[in-house]
Amino acid sequence: MQSAVIQFDRFNTLADTDAQSRIAAARAKLGKRVVLLCHHYQRADVYRHADLTGDSLKLSRLAAQSDAEYIVFCGVHFMAEVADILSKPEQIAILPDLAAGCSMADMASLAKVERCWRELEAVVGDPDKLITPVTYINSAADLKAFCGEHGGIVCTSSNAPKILEWSFAQREKVLFFPDQHLGRWSGHKMDIPLDEMAVWDPDLENGGLSAEHIRRARILLWKGHCSVHQMFQAEHIHRFRLKYPDGLVISHPESNFDVCRLSDHVGSTEFIIKTVKAAPANTHWLVGTELNLVSRLAEEVKPEGKVVQFMAPMVCMCSTMGRIDPQHLAWCLENLAEGNIVNRISVPPHEAELAKVALNRMLDAS
């Protein structure tokens, strides 16, 4: 039976230890009615409660296969949207703190992408015949819906090159958003010259490009980035190699081009974890991705004599995901235990339908 919603201000000053015990009590009361998802970048004091861990798409697909009534996603807003899109109609997706967003996802809005589409039409003709829109899964649901409506597709950090192959089989150009670095590295992996990949600045007319440049470009890269992965620089790798000549470097493709080019391995969060875990004992790794993941991985492989080192010399975590703390999780779960649904993420049906078209194209293509 539903009761009065428990307001969050009662949890603001809750000690971490008290929050942890209240999370455990609420979860015991809810039982299998709730599944708790935690992204790899999630802070340790929340991650410890996860039923399922992984990257955003993997978690959403696993949650949709569960019988849980509530999907509590300890990630960021776009992740909970994907969970809502892919889950069963009777399942409810919840984000413990609505302020947990993604700065990269926010760099591309539907209004700006639609304006870009109109500007491209004025230069190259009907973009629906010439350009495949590709959105990284780290984007809002309405941008996934845009891609679904315009013959486009979604990609992840692991399948982006394959998705670009599919995209070029449909049309001669690609508009890739919101992360220019993943798009550039993926194009490079397909042997597309850098001068055939142009950066589209959404705050400038025609993206700041000449008509000739637009016509020549095979990939138009949206001017967006992940603030975490932009902390990593080529000099960090050069310094590491001087000190550890036998060391290995692995980076996420959201890093800039020079970092990816200088790395021994480049891949998604899942790829990074699997590669380091499968490596021989006593190897030394420099890892270019979010700090929580790197710290957790370092502890897990330490018994094998492996050393895992964070690439940047300064602390660098996903601060927006870090907004989901034990206090917010306790508040969210206690409300659910009392029959109150808080912070539900619900994508409008028409938008969800189109977004699912783009997502299903990705799943079929990859």
Instruction: For the domain made up of 105-226, give the CATH fold.
Output: Rossmann fold (3.40.50)
CA–CA separation, 238 and 344 (whole Å)? 46
Residue 334 has a pLDDT of 95
229-310 in CATH: which number?
Answer: 3.40.50.10800
Q: Note the pLDDT of residue 103.
A: 86
Q: In sequence order, what are the residues at sequence separation of 6 or more whose Cβ sits closer than 8 angstroms to the Cβ of residue 265?
A: 248, 249, 250, 251, 271, 272, 275
Question: In whole angstroms, how large is the CA radius of gyration of the chain?
Answer: 21
Reported pTM: 0.93
Amino acid at the residue 16: D
What end-to-end distance do the CA atoms of the chain give, in Å?
Answer: 44
User: Cα(96)–Cα(47) distance, rounded to whole angstroms?
Assistant: 13
- Packing angle between helix 326-337 and helix 16-30, nearest 10 degrees? 30
CA dist 68 and 89 (Å) reads 12
Q: Say how far apart CA 284 and CA 307 lie, in whole Å.
A: 5
- The packing angle between helices 56-65 and 77-86, to 10°, is 40
Query: What does the pLDDT read at residue 167?
Result: 98
Phi, then psi, of 221 in degrees rounded to 5: -100, 120
Residues 222, 175 contacting (CB under 8 angstroms): yes
Residue 361's alpha-carbon distances to 128, 183, 241, 356, 365, in angstroms, are 16, 18, 41, 8, 6
How far apart CA 276 and CA 24 sit, in angstroms, is: 32
CATH architecture for the domain at 8-100+320-347: 3-Layer(aba) Sandwich (3.40)
Q: b or e along 88-97 (b: 16 or more beta carbons within 10 Å of the residue's beta carbon)?
A: eeebbbbbbb
Peptide bond into 202 cis (omega under 30): no
Contacts of 325 (CB under 8 A, 6+ apart): 19, 43, 45, 46, 97
Dihedral Cα 104, 34, 332, 346, nearest 10 deg? 50
| pLDDT number for residue 210 | 97
pLDDT of residue 6: 86
Segments of the chain with pLDDT less than 70: 1-2, 315-319, 321
Instruction: Give the residue extent of every domain in the chain.
Output: 8-100+320-347, 105-226, 229-310
* CA dihedral for 106, 110, 112, 117, sign (positive or negative): positive
Determine the Cα–Cα distance for residues 361 and 153; give it in Å rounded to an integer: 6
